[in-house]
Structure 1
Amino acid sequence: MDGALWMYALLALTTAPPLVPNAALIASAGALAQEGKLSLPLVLLVVAGSALAGDALVHGAGRLAGPRALRRLNRRPRRRAALAWMAARMHSHGLPFVIGIRFLPSGRLVGGLAAAVVGYPARRYLLGAAIAEAVWASYSVALGYWGGSALHGTWPSLALGTAVSAVVACVAQLLTRLGRPASGPTRTVARGPAAAGALRSGARDAVPAGSPPTA
């Protein structure tokens, strides 16, 4: 039981902060749940819940550091353009965009900070983040659970979980790139009170209406 508690704690500690690579650990937890050594519902709850808690902390940090974050982002044109593009998408597409951005590389960190800086409603952001984390936790744990059963071992499921997580990130990035139009009119896309502050600070970047700038 002590070992199980340590595993749950390790899952929470490595899942809550963004940019911590723990796909192998989550797959391992799924495999252990398949063997009966961990509770599958509890593993899902810990993984999804700690990820959502991390998203909430990132969003809260973004709200507290709003003006300072804007000043740092305004130093580089690409970052200003990326913020403006993201602000427009959040306000025009809402929850689907908040959910989708979680599956892009660094999406948890960038999405949470951007939502706070551009003034996107916190409740709606957390709702979208909760849906995204539930989906992510389900397939991430399932990879280890079913992989451990089919491949008869924890290590194969670790490799499978890491590989599939990488594939998902690559596919999300590819879909984003394919969604860029070849050409089109430009417009200023910053919206919301915080984004308006960015514009007053010099973040008047006109970017293609449908293309995500690279940070």
Structure 2
Amino acid sequence: MGDVLGQLVELLRGQLDSPWLWGIVFVVAGLDALLPFMPSETTVVMVAVLLGPDLPRLAALAAVAAAGALCGDCLGHAVGRWGGPRLIARLLRGERGRRRYAWACDAVARHGTLLVVAARFLPGGRVAAGLSTGGLRFPLRRFVLLDAAGAGLWAVTSTGIGAIGGAGFAEEPVKGVLLAFGLALAVVVAVEGARRVRAARPTSAR
């Protein structure tokens, strides 16, 4: 695994001065809204590690990632709004996908604002949130404004995590990437844990 990661790091390092790198970040961040296997956060974190303390390019990375994420989320919202239940069912095949969609639908009805902003920090949350808010006709203008805030928060967080890894291991980018991945995993675990605690409260109170 270390050899593969090292090769990937070297591949990205060779593209740091290429304009294609920004296009890749934008596209991957966008497609992750409908294809959860796309490594959007991984890509942003790794590029941030390699950029090191270059603040202007780190800011550009966060901006490009946020713009790509916003465009992808709007596409997912549009699919949910106009695709109909049949298309949504095809996109969310499997029991896990259906559970996520049912959870998101319930969350939209109770606290849609938090869902739109924070769902991207949960595994598969972007897909379920975009489709469910669209399918339930969540107000489009409000969705775009809230999602822009969420996409910006996600991009800045991912870039910051990568920058921390790059600063800690400036001469050993592979170790920096591993540190950044550990920090990113800790964020996801914390958010998921908070969600489960919040979801369990009404049940325990009954």
TM-score of the superposed pair, with normalisation by structure 2: 0.74
Q: Give the aligned CA root-mean-square deviation in angstroms.
A: 3.1
CA drift at 1:78? 8.4
CA contact (8 A) 1:23 1:140 kept: yes
Unaligned runs of 5+ in 2: 1-14
> 1 or 2, which has the higher helix percentage?
2
Residue 10 in structure 1 maps to residue 10 in structure 2: no
CA contact (8 A) 2:29 2:41 kept: no
Aligned CA distance change for structure 1 residues 106 and 82 (closer, same or farther; 3 Å): closer
Aligned CA distance change for structure 1 residues 28 and 86 (closer, same or farther; 3 Å): closer
Residue 173 in structure 1 maps to residue 198 in structure 2: no
Cα deviation, 1:25-57, whole Å, max 9, x if unaligned, reads: 312321333354972221111111101111111
CA drift at 1:143? 1.7
2:18 is paired with a residue whose SS is: helix
Q: How does 1:45-60 map to 2 (within 5 A)?
A: 45-60=63-78
Q: Which amino acid aligns with 1:170?
A: V
CA drift at 1:4? 2.8
Identity of aligned residues (%): 27
**Partners of 1:67 and 1:13 in 2: CA distance:** 26
**Partners of 2:51 and 2:184 in 1: CA distance:** 19
Q: How does 1:45-194 map to 2 (within 5 A)?
A: 45-69=63-87, 83=101, 85-153=103-171, 154-179=173-198, 180-181=200-201, 182-183=203-204
How many pairs align? 185
Aligned CA distance change for structure 1 residues 10 and 171 (closer, same or farther; 3 Å): same
CA drift at 1:23? 3.2
CA contact (8 A) 2:108 2:115 kept: yes
CA drift at 1:148? 1.1
Aligned CA distance change for structure 1 residues 81 and 31 (closer, same or farther; 3 Å): closer
CA contact (8 A) 1:30 1:142 kept: yes
Aligned CA distance change for structure 1 residues 125 and 38 (closer, same or farther; 3 Å): same
Q: Which has the higher contact order (CA 8 A, sep 6+)?
A: 1
TM-score of the superposed pair, with normalisation by structure 1: 0.72
